[in-house]
Amino acid sequence: MMYLKVLIAVIALIEVYAIQAWLSCKHFADMLYFSSFDLKLKVEEQVHNDIGYAPELARFFHNKVFMGYTELLKKYLFFWESNFQALFFSIIGSFGILCGLWYLIHSKQRRLYKLGIIVALGLLPFIEIFSLSLPYLVRIVLLWFPYAAFSIYGLWQFLSHNRRYGWLVVSVLSVISIWYLWAFQGDIFVIFCYNK
C-alpha cells in the first residue's frame, strides 16, 4: 500500500503544478464565455444567408432558442477539450477524472448520492461560461479543486482495482503529464488564455 500512497502523492504534486496554468490565466479565451450579444449576431448572420427562403423556415432553423442551446453546449464542451484538460488538470489528472466517474458509477453508494456528485461536477464549468462575478481566487478554487480531488479519488480507485499493472499505467501517464506541462505551458497556453 505504501507505494500506492507515494504514487498518489506524486500525482497530487503534478496536479498542484498544473494550477500554475490557472493562476496565470486571469481571463480565458472568448470561446469559453457565453454572450447574448454574440448569440444575436450569430442568429442574424445565419438568417442573412437564408435570403430567398421563407422567413418562417429561416427562423425555424436559426432562432435564439436552438442556437443558444448549441452555443452553450459548444462553450461547455470547450472546457472538456482534451488539450485544455491536459494543460489545466494535467493528463494524469484528466485520466483520474475519467476513472473517478467510472468507479463512482460502479460504487455501491446510493444512486442519489452518485447523481449529486456527477451533476455538481458537471455544472461547475458554468461558473466560468456565464462569467459569474466571483472573486478570482474563489473561481479558481471552485473550478480546480473539486476536479483535482475527484481525480485523486479516481486514481486511488484505479490503483486499488488494478494492482498488477495499474502503477505502470499511472507512472507512464505521470511522466507524459510532466513532459507535456513543461513543453507547452507557455506555448499553447495562448490558445486558451488572453492574459498570461
Partner 1 sequence: MKLSKLLFIAILFIAATVRFYLLDTTPYGLYIDEVSIGYNAQSILASGKDEHGESFPVFFRAFGEYKLPVYIYLTAGAIELFGKNELAIRFPSAFFGTATVAVLYFFVISLFRFIHAKAKNNTIPSQQVALLAAFLLAVSPWHIHFSRGGFEANVALFFYLLGFTLALAFWHKHNIKLLFIACSSFLFAFYTYNTYRFIVPVSILFFLTTVFFKLPKFRKYTIAALSAVIIFSIPMVTFSLSQGGAARFAETSAFTEYKTDTAIDKAFLYPAVFVKDYLSYFSSDFLFSYGDRNGRHQLPGMGLFYRWELFFILIGFFVLLKQKNKTGVCLLIGLLVLAPIIPAIARPSPHSLRALLMVIPLTIILAIGIIASFHKVTRFRIPLVLLFVLVFGYELTLYGHQYLAHYNNVNALDWGSGYKEMAAKAQKYQASYDYIVIEKKLSDAQIYANFYTPSLKATYASDDWKMPESWKGKKVLLIRPYYGNRHEKLSIDQVYLPGPNQDIFAQFWKL
DSSP, residue by residue, 74-132: HHHHHHT-HHHHHHHT-HHHHHHHHHHHHHHHHSSS-HHHHHHHHHHHHHTTHHHHTT-
Binding mask 127-166 for partner 1 (x = CB under 8 A): ----------------------------------------
Residue type, 33: Y
Residue 184 has φ and ψ, to the nearest 5°, of -120, -5
Q: What is the rounded radius of gyration, in angstroms, for the C-alpha atoms of the chain?
A: 20
Three-state DSSP class for residue 193: strand
Per CB under 8 A, the list member of 17, 102, 126, 167 interacting with partner 1 is 102
Per CB under 8 A, the list member of 33, 34, 103, 184 interacting with partner 1 is 184
Q: Which stretch in 19-27, 50-58, 136-144, 157-165 sits in contact with partner 1 by CB under 8 A? A: 50-58
Per CB under 8 A, the list member of 51, 54, 65, 112 interacting with partner 1 is 51
Per CB under 8 A, the list member of 5, 6, 9, 66 interacting with partner 1 is 66
Shortest Cβ distance from residue 137 to partner 1 (Å)?
28
Q: Which stretch in 14-22, 51-59, 120-128, 153-161 sits in contact with partner 1 by CB under 8 A? A: 51-59
The C-alpha cell at 148 is: 483535482
Binding mask 103-122 for partner 1 (x = CB under 8 A): --x-----------------
The C-alpha cell at 169 is: 499505467
